[in-house]
Structure 1
Amino acid sequence: MIPFNKPYMQGNELNYIGQAVSNGKISGDGAFTKKCHEFFEKKYGFKKVLLTTSCTDALEMAAILLDIQPGDEVIAPSYTFVSTVNAFSLRGAKLVFVDSCSDNPNIDPVAIRNSITDKTRAIVIVHYAGIACDMDEIMSISREYNIPVVEDAAQAIDSYYKDKPLGSIGTFGTFSFHETKNIISGEGGMLVINDEQYIQRAEIIREKGTNRASFFRGEVNKYGWVDIGSSFLPSDIIAAYLYAQLESLDDIQGKRKALWNRYNANLASLEAENLIKLPDVPSYATNNAHMYYIVCNDIETRSSLIAYLKENGIHSVFHYLSLNKSDFFLEKNEPVDLEYSDRFTDCLLRLPMYYELSLEQVDSICSKISDFFKNM
């Protein structure tokens, strides 16, 4: 079986974990956490980064920092993972789901504008598959209405909007290092803070509501409970694993892009016959090869293709279920019809993508997909 995903070890992960243990500090904010922070701030010019235990936690920190209150409205895409909006639901926000674009799963800026009310307190966007949303349009809306933007960049490491790294454009960016992502630490995430006014409070929230970070920098002579918060910082063991991956970022990205390009070239003829649609990468976006997906013409075709690939030793999977159709949302809200979110829910199919996948295996997968459509 060719799996959908396989976690990759660069080679130094266990060595660095051993170093972290030898350092005598394996709790949060140790030597490897600092190395990771420095890497991201130097490479991408982020104002401030803080490693977290997950992207979910980074999103929850963003919701706290924006002081989201019960009844506040938060605009978000329906076609996303539950973590994107659960962070704001936990604060009592009313979720306002809007549709995807017609040609890709990213949030539609027109739909954002049409959904703004005097209760809107945040706009949460997701860079699906590491492909940038239309950030000029979104940030124009943000400035016009003075509404902060949170970039859920869980899938978007090393990807750009024009010349700007994703995660650096909104008020906050959030990243994931889950084992399904390009750069991994098993579980793990990161909050990027692009507005300096939030930096000090972010450190406090991340440290259980204490000013412990200021204490260790010598800025105060003792630390105590000064705000709400939780234990959002990861062990330095996790950071050690992550840092080994970061050292191989260019190599990992180069291999994934080669696989992505091979898929795209092999499947182009099926798109020309209108049998599938390939990923849309707008001119303003770069491609970080987080995933390769195709869009089938209907749910029946997708289901049959998944079964056919499984019979031939290939594990392919669909992705999100539109959150506007979820049981949790419908318990408290009226049904909302979102055409394109529902289309991607029914028709999008993800193909195997991981570092150790070979070009020959990609050729074999594409050959089986072609065989499927020939025999329909």
Structure 2
Amino acid sequence: MSKETIFFNRPYMTGKELDYIAQAKFGNMLAGDGPFTKRCHRWLEAQTGSNKALLTHSCTAALEMTALLLDIQPGDEVILPSYTFVSTANAFVLRGAVPVFVDVRPDTLNLDERLIEAAITPRTKAIVPVHYAGVACEMDEILAIARKHGLAVVEDAAQGVMSTYKGRALGSIGDLGAFSFHETKNVISGEGGALLVNDPALALRAEIIREKGTDRSRFFRGEVDKYTWQEVGSSFLPGEMTAAFLWAQLEEAQAITNRRLALWDNYHAALATLERQGALRRPIVPENCQHNAHMYYVILAPGVERQAVLEELKRHAIYAVFHYVPLHSSPGGLRYGRVQGSMEVTDGYSERLLRLPMWLGLTHEHQEQVVGVLGDALAKA
């Protein structure tokens, strides 16, 4: 009998997506900022407490908007972790800025707030904490450093929808925040993202930048008699069918999160023995953080050959993956950025991190199989 394939990820559908897409189609409103977009905006603002939420066609687009909103200029510096997706750096490199890579904490793999001040120079404009795996960075410390030095804080909360830090929604704590609704995330629209504008002074400009640099949004609200080009911008809106799909997901966001947390907790309990044996380390979630179970990863013990473990899992039709190649050691990072201090944690943990299958529809039997094969693979390794 052939083994059932356990995929790394399978996009989850609530069942309402196609109905809402049909409603958008028959409503003859397919471009951006239609009724479904507005519903999503209201939901995001209510859920996060952000001053303004704006859907974008990707989290990458939302991050690019933050660089425009902060008027990032060539030669400016932006502090961020190296252990993140390329969009975190690209958004600022596109404006001519220099990403300054700082090491991550060994517990959460988030930007190490203790290393930030040493990276600040007269050219520094912003700090960009990335909430890895939906677990919050130490935001109070980061905000205090930013206030002390007059810097902006942009939260890359791509993985952080429905996560909180001391009761505050991720993405709503800094000056600006960015969400992702990519199909690999918890709440999805295929591609898609959102910008959270928490500084009210930036809200109107955010609308203008998102609408190709025009005041089109004000025109449709009746605040001006025509819309015109106001400043540099681009087309960052998603279509209404994307928003309709997303609305079906946002309606079920809490239920989705609860079900994922149950899967995460099951992995966590099942892997405790392997951790006690020293074969791996499980994720660490600080007490003041409520995560969203975006992913379940383990840190393999030093000396374990990760590729051999991955191949053994694949031999049993289990598809696990590693994660980022650190930006500072990538060709683009070497070309456009600079490193501040040691990158010991980033370099070491990036080579030992292994992500396990995690998606709604995964059963406890699937998880038992994953943990069992992983244990056997580690024993061989």
User: What's the TM-score bracket when you normalise by the shorter of the two chains?
Assistant: over 0.9
Who is 1:364 aligned against? 369
Who is 1:137 aligned against? 141
Please tell me whether the aligned partners of residues 99 and 338 of structure 1 are also in contact (alpha carbons under 8 angstroms): yes
Tell me whether 1:120 sits opposite 2:133 in the alignment.
no
Who is 1:162 aligned against? 166
Tell me whether 1:275 sits opposite 2:279 in the alignment.
yes
Who is 1:18 aligned against? 22
Who is 1:74 aligned against? 78
Question: Counterpart of 1:317 in 2: which secondary structure?
Answer: coil
Tell me whether 1:340 sits opposite 2:337 in the alignment.
no
Superposition map of 1:41-120 within 5 A: 41-120=45-124
Distance 1:133 1:330 in 2: 25
Distance 1:217 1:333 in 2: 42
Please tell me whether the aligned partners of residues 298 and 346 of structure 1 are also in contact (alpha carbons under 8 angstroms): no
Who is 1:213 aligned against? 217
User: Gapped runs of 5+ residues in structure 2?
Assistant: none
Question: Counterpart of 2:310 in 1: which secondary structure?
Answer: helix
Distance 2:334 2:169 in 1: 36
Aligned partner of 2:245 among 223, 241, 250:
241
Query: 2:281 corresponds to which letter in structure 1?
Result: K
Aligned partner of 1:314 among 296, 315, 318:
318
Give the alignment's Cα RMSD to 1 decimal. 1.2
Q: Deviations over 1:185-222 (max 9, x none)?
A: 00000000000000000000000000000000000000
Identity of aligned residues (%): 52
Who is 1:196 aligned against? 200
Distance 2:145 2:195 in 1: 23
Distance 2:214 2:336 in 1: 35
Distance 2:332 2:359 in 1: 33
Question: Counterpart of 1:191 in 2: which secondary structure?
Answer: strand
Tell me whether 1:183 sits opposite 2:187 in the alignment.
yes
Tell me whether 1:355 sits opposite 2:360 in the alignment.
yes
Tell me whether 1:323 sits opposite 2:330 in the alignment.
no
Change (3 A) 1:21 1:299: farther
Question: Counterpart of 1:151 in 2: which secondary structure?
Answer: strand
Question: Counterpart of 2:128 in 1: which secondary structure?
Answer: strand
Distance 2:151 2:226 in 1: 36
TM-score normalised over the length of structure 2: 0.97
Distance 1:123 1:188 in 2: 24
Change (3 A) 1:359 1:17: same
- Aligned pairs, number: 376
Deviation >4 Å, runs of 4+? 332-337
Who is 2:231 aligned against? 227
Change (3 A) 1:81 1:172: same
Please tell me whether the aligned partners of residues 78 and 98 of structure 1 are also in contact (alpha carbons under 8 angstroms): yes
Q: Deviations over 1:126-161 (max 9, x none)?
A: 000000000111011011111010000000000000
Query: 2:331 corresponds to which letter in structure 1?
Result: D
User: Gapped runs of 5+ residues in structure 1?
Assistant: none
Who is 1:375 aligned against? 380
Distance 1:43 1:190 in 2: 13
Q: CA deviation at 1:247?
A: 1.1
Who is 2:9 aligned against? 5
Q: CA deviation at 1:301?
A: 2.4
Distance 1:259 1:320 in 2: 23
Change (3 A) 1:341 1:251: same
Question: Counterpart of 1:370 in 2: which secondary structure?
Answer: helix
Query: 2:358 corresponds to which letter in structure 1?
Result: M
TM-score normalised over the length of structure 1: 0.98
Of 135-144 and 180-189, the range deviating more from structure 2 = 135-144
Q: CA deviation at 1:373?
A: 2.5
Q: Deviations over 1:291-336 (max 9, x none)?
A: 0000012475211111110001100000001111011222356676
